[in-house]
Structures are given as C-alpha cells and as structure tokens.
Amino acid sequence: MITVGVDCDGVTSLPRMLTLLMLTRRNERVFWWLQKFRFLQRLYNYFFRIANPEIREFMKELKEQGFGVVIISASNESYRQELTRWHLENGFCFDELYLKQTPNEDTLAYKKRMASLCVYYFDDNLEIVSYINNGIDGNSGCLAFLYQGQKKEELLDFYLSPIFKIFKTV
C-alpha cells in the first residue's frame, strides 16, 4: 500500500498567530514538555488549533482511493489520546499517528526517519522538506512536498500525475 504522510501543526491544523510565535526550534523542548499535561493539551487544541478543511478533504480522498495516510508530528507521545481525539472530531481520516518519543531526538532526524515510511510527505517547514529530500545521507525514499496552503485540487494534481498512477498500480 502506498502511504502518504502529513505534518500536524501547520498542515492538518492551521496555526493562529500566537502559535507561530510559540513554535520555534529554540523553544521546541519546552513546548514538547508542556504537552505532557492533559489540561494544557486541551487548552491548546481549543484555543490554538484550527482544522484545515483542504487537508481534511485531501486525506479523505486519499483514503477513498485506497492509500494509507499517516500523521507525523514532533509532539509528545503523551499527547496521543488528545491529538487523536481532536483529529477524529474534526473529521480527519488517517491510519496512524506518529509522535516523537523523546525531546532529545532532533526534529529533522525524527521527521526524516518517519517520512521514510511514506512515499510522499507534506510539511509546512521548508527546512524539514529540504532535509528529507536532500539530507546528508541522500534520498530517504520519500518525496517531501512543501505545504503552503494549497487547495485540495492542487494537492490532488500530484496524485493524478502519471508517476503517481504508476505507484498506485504497484
């Protein structure tokens, strides 16, 4: 089965302005640590997370066509139940939610390792997309795309291409 991966913050959920200020690589460890607390998880999901309707429809279309769909996030493992609940309540179709186990693992390395489970991966961070596509050790076996608010139809254009049709028949 062909698997497509998507990032969480900035892709399945659209950030509010305060979120953009909070989510920097410099304070990633603090943010990861704060995600251990259920109250803060719910607070964050309620006030700072907005479901992305284009990605929701894109993921639904992929599932209907028989593709595997996974969400890859550098969020804390203890956030799994709340993050899964939020995605399901907002109508997202996916097979698996991958979360980072430890704050010590570099996010770039983590995302590349997890994206290697996919044929395609969508992330809103150019540094992550570039690292997956052109990392130090070469190709990860996954083609990463930069998500910049494209509409569902634009996203499906990649999947309607002849290359993607070849992958689908394998």
The residue ranges of every structural domain in the chain are: 3-169
pTM of the predicted model, to two decimals? 0.79
Q: How big is the chain, counted in residues?
A: 170
Residue 12 · residue 71 · CB < 8 Å? yes
Most confident of 24-38, 57-71, 131-145: 57-71
**Plot region of 8 (φ>0 → left; ψ -120 to 50 → alpha; else → beta):** alpha
Q: Residue holding tokens 């990861």?
A: 32
pLDDT tens, position by position, 117-165: 999 999 988 999 999 998 545 555 788 999 988 888 888 876 656 545 5
| For residue 41, pLDDT beyond 60 | yes
User: Which tokens in the block code for residue 101?
Assistant: 């186990």
Mean pLDDT estimate for the chain: 79
Of 102 and 89, which is predicted with more confidence? 89
Phi, psi of 88 (to 5 degrees): -65, -45
CATH architecture of the domain 3-169 equals 3-Layer(aba) Sandwich (3.40)
Between 40-49, 55-64, 146-155, the lowest mean confidence (pLDDT) is in 40-49
pLDDT reported for residue 35:
60
